[in-house]
Amino acid sequence: MARTPITVAFGDGIGPEIMSATLTMIEAAGAQLEMETIEIGQKLYEAGYPSGIDERAWESLHRTRVFLKAPITTPQGGGYKSLNVTIRKALGLYANIRPAVAYHPVIETLHPGMDIVIIRENEEDLYAGIEYRQSIDQYEAIKLATHPGSERIVRFAFEYAQAYGRKKVTCFTKDNILKMTDGLFHRLFEEVAAEYPAIQKEHWIVDIGSAKLAFRPQEFDVVVIPNLYGDILSDIMAQLAGSVGLAGSANIGASYAMFEAVHGSAPRRAGQDVANPSGLFLAAVQMLVYLGQTEAAERAHNAWLRTLEEGIHTRDIFREGKSRKLVGTQEFAREVARRMGQEPQSLLRPVRYPQGVPRPRADFPYLRKEQPKELVGIDLFLENSPTSPESLAERLQSLAGPELSLQCVANRGLVVWPTRQTQALRVDNYQARFLWRASCGTPPTQEKGLELARKCMEAGLGIVRVQWLYRYGNEPGYSQLQGE
């Protein structure tokens, strides 16, 4: 078999130790890899690269398109950007795949039957990182959801389920509150699910769904989930499986892929040969499957399961009376390498990676559908000392021409005019919603909206943001305010 070129980074903290152990194990399994090593992380940050990566590393990644990465240490303080987020975005790694598997009875877990895969959207949502300070009192982050971004992660989840013979895909959102962003994710989930009738589908509101997942994970199979919820939930599930040291993850895009442990660089354990290399190792197994080296993946995975089954454990999972031998990072790798060709026999089940199974598709074409769009109003966000809403509304009404009618004024998303008294906190940032009067006889224009914004500015009402309100077909392109 020809060797596949990959890029490898040994990372920081425990990174070099767990990477060399991982390479020992997968090479013993017969992985056919041509490795290019790059330096990323702490040294690069210190050398003045704000994202911890230099041109040489990018060249290698663009050449091989497959990255096996050990954890790195992110320096504290401002001015540094997350290397992981930078790489995910630059390489379009939109799908984060995190299996959470119980190794009962070998490793203590509350959930012996757990065998789930969390597929987390990796690029959008609050992780788009668009944040503003809008006034003295108010800060904002934008939760970004796009049609192609949501559709492809949902499609990927069904393709994944199909490729790996999984039975069910569950979607988690909070679309009872976030009707537009999470609503889009949920709607596309339902539409895409209809194209995969052989796979069961279900949707849960993320709060109660997460509670159910943490309580009875054995009732779940594949979970597809927006970025932030997925980040939190997948760490919880990794911990429930027994140890964060056991969880590996894949980041997949249309033409690149990155494989890494879920945990970080654990600096306090560095250099002591105590870290568990299993998280990075299981990520590397996922990489072998991705590369079509399924025989090596299966050999490696089963030898690892056999080693666990025989009670040969690193410190994080070692239990007096249950485990048989306490080993360091490198010795654990050698014990696994020695067991190549063996499978677990009594306590754990062997894994099977059938030959020739196509990997799940990740390159989905997106057909953008044009839609009629009509301007219907404007929201003006104003920085204003917390005056009485009535007096603010009065001033705004006097500034609006005959075309625009003031519908309401809101503070922190809650309507404060016209309304009854509320006990809710009021801050220095108001949202004034103006809608076009159908009776005025002139069609809505952005010029009229800007004219109003200018008048407000001249009257000393600090404009923070101008937001156009559109209808798309029959649907408003903006949410109703609470109490509107």
How many residues of this chain bind ligand NAD (CB under 6 A)? Answer: 21
Residues 201-240 that bind ligand NAD (CB under 6 A): none
In 296-372 the beta strands, taken as DSSP E runs, fall at 312-313, 325-326
The answer to whether the CB of 8 falls within 8 A of the CB of 260 is no
Closest-CB residue for ligand NAD? 264
Residue with Cβ nearer ligand NAD (166 or 263): 263
In 114-205 the beta strands, taken as DSSP E runs, fall at 115-121, 131-133, 139-141, 168-173, 200-205
Residue with Cβ nearer ligand NAD (268 or 368): 268
The answer to whether the CB of 7 falls within 8 A of the CB of 284 is no
Q: Is 245 in the site for ligand NAD (CB under 6 A)?
A: yes
36/41 Cα distance (integer angstroms): 16
Q: Is 71 in the site for ligand NAD (CB under 6 A)?
A: yes
Candidates 9, 61, 72, 283: give the one binding ligand NAD (CB under 6 A): 72
Q: Is 52 in the site for ligand NAD (CB under 6 A)?
A: no
Torsion sign (Cα): 297, 302, 307, 311? positive
Residue with Cβ nearer ligand NAD (260 or 335): 260
Q: What tokens were used for 76?
A: 């504290």
Residues 3-22 that bind ligand NAD (CB under 6 A): 14, 18
Residues 309-348 that bind ligand NAD (CB under 6 A): 316
Residue with Cβ nearer ligand NAD (267 or 462): 267
DSSP secondary structure of 181-202: HHHHHHHHHHHHHTT-TTSEEE
Single out the segment in contact with ligand NAD by CB under 6 A; choices: 71-79, 185-193, 218-226, 375-383.
Answer: 71-79
Residue with Cβ nearer ligand NAD (129 or 350): 129
Q: What tokens were used for 136?
A: 């003295």
Supply the minimum distance, in Å, between the C-beta of residue 87 and ligand NAD: 10
Candidates 74, 96, 251, 293: give the one binding ligand NAD (CB under 6 A): 74
Q: Compose the 247-286 pattern: x for residues touching ligand NAD by CB under 6 A, - for all others.
A: -------------x--xxxxxxx-----xx--x-------
Candidates 84, 109, 170, 293: give the one binding ligand NAD (CB under 6 A): 84
Residue with Cβ nearer ligand NAD (205 or 244): 244
Q: Is 244 in the site for ligand NAD (CB under 6 A)?
A: yes
Buried b vs exposed e over 334-351: b needs ≥16 C-beta within 10 Å? bbbbebbebbbeeebeeb
Candidates 24, 73, 302, 407: give the one binding ligand NAD (CB under 6 A): 73
DSSP secondary structure of 408-446: EEEETTEEEESS----S---SEEEEEEEE-GGG-S---H
Residue with Cβ nearer ligand NAD (261 or 399): 261
Residue with Cβ nearer ligand NAD (12 or 379): 12
Residue with Cβ nearer ligand NAD (72 or 161): 72
Q: Is 407 in the site for ligand NAD (CB under 6 A)?
A: no
Question: Is 448 strand, coil or helix?
Answer: helix
451/413 Cα distance (integer angstroms): 24
389/248 Cα distance (integer angstroms): 53
Question: Half-sphere exposure of 16 toward its Cβ, with a 13 Å CA cutoff?
Answer: 11
Please state whether beta strands 429-436 and 404-411 pair in parallel, antiparallel, or not at all (unpaired): antiparallel
Contacts of 253 (CB under 8 A, 6+ apart): 91, 92, 93, 94, 95, 362
Interface with ligand NAD (CB under 6 A): 14, 18, 71-74, 84, 244-245, 260, 263-269, 275-276, 279, 316
